[in-house]
Amino acid sequence: MKFCPHCGGDLVNFQRGVEAGTSTASGITTKPVVKYDQMATWRKLVEESNRCQGEPPDVSALAYGLADQLRKMFDRAHGEPVKSLIHLAVDRKIVPEGGALYMAAMSNGQAGPQNLEYFKARGYLVEDDHVRAIDDVPVGRAYGALDYWGGEKQFRRWHLSMPIRLNASRNGDPYFMDEGMICFGATWVDPDRLNEACLELLESLALGVKRDDVIAKPLAVLAVQLP
């Protein structure tokens, strides 16, 4: 697996000039860095999440911390849109399990009710009696929540310049999803809706898009500004 902050395995560094900060329940630390080191970034985030895993932080505290990180980026942007990488560490796996069974059971992207219940129980995103797949990769509910939040239908609501950039693959660079880790791209036009946007983002994961079931509880959030 490409991203392994736990064991420090072979990771590809995605290096650009950026500034980064970590949002925690207790506060925000914004620290300038010369390069974005993918491995170091995730190690830092996993360490932060491990410190609170027994009791996930308050969602609103994390959300407003993330919003404050992004506002600081606007202070440096001199009126220009802000390009960001949003990193999320959550309390459970968000990539579906059982890919071999998925390939065997699906026929033209469709499966019977019994199989669909199996897929749902293992975290697959099921829509209209289909397991949703992106570029032939079956995706989970976390992907669906993020796509709903910042995809074609809603990105303008949060004053984003375009839909967020998602990659359902474990091996994406820099956007990816693996274990309890997510990284996606978001370009913000202005900071006017940041509080609402960040709160809705994290609540969609913590409570479900329809507020009917937990997808994954956020443990730590980090925003990185791209040039």
Give the range among 8-12, 70-74, 195-199 with minimum mean pLDDT: 8-12
Mean pLDDT of 97-101: 60
Q: pLDDT tens digits, residue range 148-195?
A: 999 999 999 999 999 999 998 888 889 999 999 999 999 999 999 999
Q: pLDDT tens digits, residue range 11-29?
A: 333 333 344 444 444 344 4
Q: What is the pLDDT of residue 185?
A: 97
Separation between Cα atoms, residue 102 and residue 109, nearest integer Å: 9
Beta carbons within 10 angstroms of residue 121's beta carbon: 10
Residue the block writes with tokens 């997510």: 182
Beta bridge partners of 28: 23
DSSP code per residue over 39-108: HHHHHHHHHHHHTTTTSPPPHHHHHHHHHHHHHHHHHHHTTS-EEEEEEEEESS--S-S-HHHHHHH-BT
Length of the chain: 227
Q: pLDDT tens digits, residue range 112-147?
A: 555 777 788 778 888 887 888 887 778 899 999 999
Separation between Cα atoms, residue 204 and residue 8, nearest integer Å: 30
Q: pLDDT tens digits, residue range 191-220?
A: 999 999 999 999 999 999 999 889 999 999
